[in-house]
Each structure stands twice: as C-alpha cells, then as structure tokens.
Chain A
Amino acid sequence: MANFTLNVNGKTQELDVDPSTPMLWVLRDHLKLVGTKYGCGIAQCGACTVHLGDNAVRSCQLPVSAVGEQRVTTIEGLSENGDHPVQEAWLKEDVYQCGYCQAGQIMNASAFLKTNPNPTDTEIETAMNGNICRCGTYTRIKRAIKTAAASASENA
C-alpha cells in the first residue's frame, strides 16, 4: 500500500492503496465515482475511458501510481451541470439504448473533439473505433458527435 494525492474532477483526493491498482477501480471502489465503467479490463472496449490531462485514456490500464499530479476527469466531472456540448448532443440525439458504454463513448468523443473540432465521418470512426457498443448505437453516436461539433462552432 502507498499514499497517493490525486486530482480528480478538480478535487484533491488522498488515498492509501496498492500502487498497481488501476484508476478504474480507484474511481469506482475507493472514490465511489461509478460513472466510469468496467467492460473488459484489457483496454479493448473503451467503457472505462477518462481524461488524463486533456487525453482520453483507458483507466483499466492506468495504474494509480502513474497518475502523479495530472488532472483526472471522469464523466461526473466533464461539466458541472451535465451541459458539456457532447452531453447535450447525446441528449438531443437520444443516443443510448442500455446506456452502459456511453460514459466511455462521451469521454472519448469529448477529448477527440478538442483535438479535432470539425471532424469528417472517417475521422470520427477512426477516433471512436476503440469504444464498443453492443446495442449498436454507432450511427447515433456519430450523429451526436457531429451535432456537438456544430454547436461548439456556433458558440465559438
């Protein structure tokens, strides 16, 4: 066990945990932030995506010891009132079916749009290819990403 000071969703969190513990389980079990989902544990499905700094990472493969002082943002901290353009676009397009993978999809999409605010369809597909949705909402996810991009450029 070791002590860590983490910056999660803008809050400083102190915890004593095994250094190998993936952030996924630190978030879910220790910090009770259960919006980040477990899907595969081997970085194949994207359900556990969070932001480390500005980058989308798979928290199941991110040991707590590797985080250091970098900002960790989870779905709970993406916006204060659930009104990030990507969240609003998801609501507008009513994207989800079961909804389980969508936090990961949203976190991946929001990091991607920061680097590419006006993506083509192919760029969206490539960026989102690591996030699986068994319900098959891919076409709506793509539409929502375009909606988010359009609303962001309108407000820019």
Chain B
Amino acid sequence: MTLVKTHIGRRAFIKNSGLAGGGLLLGFSFLNSCKPKQAEAVAAGIEMPKEWFEINGYLKIGDNGVVTIMSPNPEIGQNVKTSMPMIVAEELDVDWKDVLVEQAPLNTDIFTRQLAGGSQSIRASWAGLRMAGATARHMLVAAAAEVWQVPADEITTDAGKLYHKTSDRTMGFGEVASAASELEVPEEVALKDVKDFKIIGTSRKNVDGQKIVTGKPLFGLDIQKEGMLIAMTVHPPAFGLKLKSFDGAEAKKMPGIKDVFTIKTFKDDYTKSAFDNSAFTDLIVVVGNTTWETMNAKKAVKVEWEESPDADEKMQIFGREMKVRFPAGLESTRIHKTAMADKSKVKQNVVRKDGDPEAMFKKAAKIIERSYSCPFLAHNCMEPMNFFADVTDDMAVLKGPIQTPEIMEKSVSERLGLPVEKVDIQMSRMGGGFGRRLYGHFLTEAGVISQRVKAPVKLVYTREDDMTMGIYRPSYEAYYRAALDENNNLIAFHVRAGGIPESPLAANRFPAGAVDHYLAEDWSIDSNITVGAFRAPRSNFIAGAEQSFLDEVAEEAGKDPIEFRLELLKRAQENPVGENNDYEADRYAGVLELVKEKAKWGQEQSGVHRGVSAYFCHNSYVAQVLDMVLENEHPIVQKVTAAIDCGIVINPDAATNLAEGGAVDGIGHAMYSAMSFKDGVPEQNNFDRYRLIRHSEAPKEIETHFVQNNIDPTGLGEPPFPPIMGALANALYKATGQRHYHQPFISEKQIIG
C-alpha cells in the first residue's frame, strides 16, 4: 500500500462553470447542453441522479451512485478522455458502467498539467488522478463509518458499494455522497496495490464512440452559435513574403460577406512564446455568413506582397528568452538539399565525445559511412485548424481544438488586453493534433477578429491554408560513420546530424553508452519556413536513420541485426560508457527480446522479407519487426509485430490501437509524404499532391505485445511512430536489394524487386 499526500481542496472551484449548487456542468459547454447529456446517459443505460455532490474537482457523485469524472487533458485521439478517468475510477473503486465522463474546463489549480504533448498526459497525471480517486473513496468510507458508527478501517469498497462485513451491512456510494462532500479532505490517503486493479489493465471502449459513429457535434469545426460569423484569412503565398497592400472592395460586395480587413496577430512589442510561432502575422481577414460564401470571397481579394526583411525575433522558449533568426529570402528545396549535404561533410559542433574516436577510425579494419535525409512534413490533421471566439468588452470565450490551452490563455489575454481571469478557453475534441495544435496562433487570430467584428466568430482554415501556413516537421540530414576492428567489433561510432532549422540529434541515446569511442555533432541552418513539434519531434527522423545504419553495420559485421543490438545493449547495461545515457538498457533489450520471440525471428518464411528496429523516446521502448512481400514487384507490408514497454498499460485495446496507428503513420510518412518549396512557395497544398498513406498501403496485419510490469505508466502517442521507419527501410533492403536513405522512399528510387 502506498500513502500519498493529497493536494486538492474539496472546494477547489471550477472557473466559469455552472457548478455551484452541485448541479450538472451546464453552461460550461454550449456543445452539450443538459438534454443530450441525459439522452447519452439513457443510451448508456445510466439513470441520471436527482442531485449531484461534488467530492473534489475531479469528480462528483449522484444520489443514485452515478459518478461524473472530469477528463482534464485535451483529447487529440490518444484516448486520454477514456484512459485518464479510468485511473480516477480505479482508485475510487466504482463500477465503470456507472461512470459518465466530461471534458474538464481549463483549471490548472485543480488539474495541474492540461496539455497534450510529449506523450506525457498519463505519465504526468498518473499520481494526481489516482490521488483524486483515492481521496474521494477515503471520504466516502469516512462518511459511512459515521453513519454505521464503526471504525473506518473495517469498511471495504467494491464497484461503487461500501461494505461492513462483520455486521453484514452494505451501502451505495450515492447514499453517503452528500455526507462525504461535507467532510474535510484527508491529508494522506492510501492507494491501491497494482495487483488489486480492476479497471486499469482492462480494455474499455472510447467514451465518445457513440457520438463519433452517429456524427454528433464534437469537434471545433462543429461549433455553432446564434449569430456566429465565419472568418477566413488570406496569407502570403510564399515564405519570405509579407503583406504590402490589398483591395477587398470586390470581395466585400460578394453575397453574404460582412467585412474584409487586416489584422495583426500579435502586438508589436509582444514577446512570443515558442507556441505563438507563426510565419505570417499580418493577415487579411474575410468575414461572412457561411463557409462557402467566405471561401469564395477570399479568392476575390486582390493583394500585393513584398519580401520580408531579415528578422531576429525574441521568443520565450521554455522560460528562457531567446533570439530566433528568420532570414529574408525565398527558399527552395533544391538549395536546402545542397546546403544540408555541405554541412554533413565538415566538422560541426561537438555535443558528446567519449574516448578517442578519430584514433579508432584511423586504425579500423572497416569503416561504414552513410547519409540519411528527410523532407519537411505538414501535420495534416484531418480537421483543419480552426477556433471559435466570442469576445465582448469584458469577456473572451474561446472554444476549439488546442493542445496548449493554458499557454494560449496567456497569449490571448495579452493580445486582447483582458486579464487572464476574463479569458475562458474551452477544449473540444480534436480531429488530430500530432503537435500542430501546440501552436495556437489561430486562437489569437480568432480572438482579434471577434473583438473587431463584435460578434461570435468561427475562424476556419481551408486545407490549403492549413498546409501552406507553416509549422512543419523540419527537414533533417544525418551522417553516420562506424568503425569495425578485424574481429568485426564496433569500436567507434560517429553521428553528425542537423537540419533546417534545428538538429534532430539526441546525443545521449543509444548507441551512446554502448561504444567506447563515440562522437556526436550537431548543426542547423536558419530558415523563414516555420517548424514545430511533429509526432515524436526529432526522433521521427533520427530513429529511422540510426536503425537503418545499425542494420548496415550489423550486416558488414556479419551479425544478426537483433543479436548485434543486444550485444551492444548488454555492454551498455553491464559497463556503460559515460554517465548521461538517457535510456535503460535492460528495458531496451527487453522489447527486442520480446519482438524476437513474438515475430518468430530466425524462422524466416520464403518470400517474406523482414526488417527490425527498436527505439526509445518519450519514456517508452518500442521494437518492431516488419514483414514485406513483393506482389508484381511491388512491396506490400504484410505484417508488423511490435513489442512495447510503456510500464502499466491503462487501457490495453486503446493502447494497441495507438501502437497500430503509430506504425501505419510512420510507414506512410517515410514512404510517401513530403513538403517541398520553390522560391518560398509550398509545392503541395492539398491531398492531390501531398501523399498520405491510404488503406491499400497499410500493413495487412499488426500484432502488438506489451511487456508486463508494474512500472508507472509512460506514454504511447509518439513512441511507436519513429522506429517503424527503420524497420521499413531494412525490410525494403531485404526485399529489393537496395538501401533507401532519403525519405520519402517512394520518390528516391523505383521501388521494385
């Protein structure tokens, strides 16, 4: 049994909610008024209580035992809206069928970290969610002890009921919820033992499933409000250009159009945070009654653009003020490629050095040298960027898809000149995030537009806007060099990695720590093309490059690729080189051992070409084996077998779903996707030219296995995504006899056998 200190007050209050008086969270959401909520409960077979009692900010219990649990974090498809409340329900000891889930309002006093990023939701909130449930359970037990006049430690709970076994008495949570809500919050509460979990570790269906399959309003784009106008923006067609002048007269005359004007996304003296990043901050805005009318009027705006000058922008990046350079000029992919290749050829900034790598390369029996690269990528969330804003003189209500609501509350507050308490940012379900919605300039834009037109406004990006306004996965290149001695031992390893505008290097990750002589260098090239975190930032390239390179090194050394990695990991575990290695070698080896067993590695079938890869990022370990067959000389991914160590798995089927999606998404991006530029102009602006993986290209089968352990859980949104790119490249080599170094693989070489 673990005792934890509680840190939530019973009366920790929910801002701007209609919660006073213990009622339903009316008013908080104009998407879900009381009625649908009730209908939903009826559909789920739940009878709504007559009265609710708020036990703490996370949950309230009805007089009939029904429980509403708040899901604190933004839902981008990573299943937190189901899995986070499952953790609260576990410690509360309630039956999951009696639970209703609601999206919590933004209130970090209660919910601490309300952010979707870095695969951290479950990991960072694990203790807090358990504490919230356990605290409520403790208070229910204390209330029952009062009623029954028995010692609290003689009372047990199970599935929403309290038991006093010696006197054979039973009571539902609902019967003491009122009394429990009047009690003081205990200072310390006991948590369950992992072995006693009844909800965690069992698969529970997505709480929004019914709404998704029946098309209920859930997403930002679905928001409607009486008197709401639609707003769209016109931005420069190329990076490196800005607005010179415009003529909106013709557009303004078009049917349904209210106004055409310009806005500045930020005030001139404002210091942006990293999450305010935006290439185009002088925008033309078209406001109209309907989306179609506004979309058409947008095309009728006449604009003159001019080149923007060099800019050094002050930015707050994780609490530090830094200067970020956005050089003038119209950039092209062709020139980027040459510049990156040049950087790869010469010595760069040394980030880590162990031993004497240069001496080892001089006396090596064999040296293997390879370079890998990848293009910019657009996030392409299926729901384009959008946000609703209703700004009045003394209040700003914004609602929509955002991964960083707390950070954006500050940006919006500063821009609109309203105190933070007067800015209410509400979270909708998101049609994908992948990192794109960490960068919320569209909230500020929506706020400014609503303030200007004095009406509720929904800002909508077209797909073309979404794809051409920036915040891309950077373009990266990595040069690798390995030295083998005459016995084929890896004696030195060298990585030199960089990109536009940042390096993907993770100098302290494997194989650092496993090789005596190790050198890691980084470099970067400034650009005016804006970038941002994209599902597993940096790892989403470097993992595939490194794992492809290790495959070649193993081949040169005449070793099985899994055995080769396991030997290195054994070294890192028993006698690590250096002290800053940021992985646990035994868990890393554990996923490789598991995937080896489950994929029956070594028992190859004829015609099936296999590649393996393993990576550690965002606190979780993933190994994947990819089986490829050739049909009519065309590579088909027949199967992916994955082994994952993310500690305790909260919701196994949903976790499996994420692991499957990560593999599909990774194969897709490595194989097909790219953003390229010519004279600053993005050459892709919709799905006719930007390729995303489609049904027929997805693996035919994906099998996922989790390492069973009792380690506190870590995340899964990102970790299954990066390594599959290596497994894909390695299987492609086996299938076609050709190594693939430059993503997207489909355009590098004719992919045939």
Contact = CB atoms under 8 A, between A and B. Distances in A.
Contacts of A42: 463, 686-688
B222 A34 contact: yes
B660 A100 contact: no
Interface stretch (B211-219, B340-348, B418-426): B211-219
A62 B384 CA distance: 20
A125 B431 CA distance: 23
A91 B209 contact: yes
Contacts of A134: 380-382, 432, 434, 665, 692
22 contacts: A18-B293, A34-B222, A37-B382, A41-B462, A75-B214, A82-B214, A90-B213, A91-B209, A96-B212, A97-B657, A98-B75, A98-B383, A98-B429, A100-B219, A100-B430, A100-B431, A106-B213, A129-B696, A134-B382, A136-B698, A139-B660, A139-B702
Given A34-B222, A100-B432, A135-B432, A142 B77 contact: no
Contacts, number: 184
B291 interface: yes
A74 B216 CA distance: 11
A81 to B, nearest CB: 8
B692 A132 contact: yes
B323 interface: no
B307 interface: no
Given A40-B463, A142-B695, A94 B213 contact: no
B4 to A, nearest CB: 32
Given A37-B431, A38-B384, A96-B209, A125 B221 contact: no
Which 8 pairs, one residue from A and one from B, show the smallest C-beta to C-beta distance? A35-B215, A100-B431, A136-B664, A98-B77, A75-B215, A97-B77, A136-B661, A44-B687
Interface of A: 1, 18, 21-22, 25, 28-30, 32-42, 44-45, 47, 74-76, 78, 82, 87, 90-91, 94, 96-103, 106, 121, 124-126, 128-142
Nearest to A96: B212
Contacts of B334: none
Contacts of B686: 40-42, 44
Interface string B692-721: 111110111110000000000000000000
B582 interface: no
B382 A100 contact: yes
A128 B292 CA distance: 27
Nearest to B717: A97
B530 interface: no
Contact of A125 (B203, B660, B696): B696
Given A96-B209, A99-B208, A45 B293 contact: no
A35 B212 CA distance: 8
Contacts of B217: 34
B695 A124 contact: yes
Contact of A99 (B205, B429, B696, B700): B429
A94 B651 CA distance: 12
B382 A101 contact: yes
A35 B432 contact: no
A51 B403 CA distance: 34
Interface centre among A1, A47, A99, A138 (most CB of B within 10 A): A99
Contacts of B430: 98, 100
B259 interface: no
A18 B212 contact: no
Given A41-B463, A137-B664, 18 more contacts: A22-B292, A40-B686, A45-B382, A91-B205, A97-B657, A97-B658, A98-B382, A99-B212, A99-B431, A101-B382, A106-B213, A133-B382, A134-B382, A134-B434, A136-B663, A137-B660, A139-B701, A142-B695
Contacts of B214: 35, 75-76, 78, 82, 87
Interface in B613-667: 653-654, 657-658, 660-665
Interface centre among B206, B230, B382, B687 (most CB of A within 10 A): B382
A25 B291 contact: yes
Contact of B695 (A28, A47, A74, A129): A129
Contacts of B432: 98, 100, 134-135
A55 to B, nearest CB: 19
A121 to B, nearest CB: 7
B668 interface: yes
B79 interface: yes
B333 interface: no
B694 A129 contact: yes
A85 B432 CA distance: 26
B722 to A, nearest CB: 14
Contacts of B76: 98
B78 interface: yes
A138 B695 contact: yes
B22 interface: no
B615 to A, nearest CB: 17
Contacts of B429: 98-99
Contact of A45 (B295, B687, B693, B696): B687
Nearest to A89: B213
B255 A94 contact: no
A25 B210 CA distance: 24
A76 B692 contact: no
B382 A132 contact: yes
A99 B433 CA distance: 12
Given A25-B292, A135-B432, A34 B382 contact: no
B218 A121 contact: no
Contact of A94 (B205, B222, B431, B701): B205
A29 B215 contact: no
B290 interface: yes
A97 B463 contact: no
A125 to B, nearest CB: 4
B224 interface: yes
Contacts of B79: 97
A40 B660 CA distance: 25
Nearest to A41: B463
Interface in B209-257: 209-210, 212-219, 221-222, 224, 230, 255
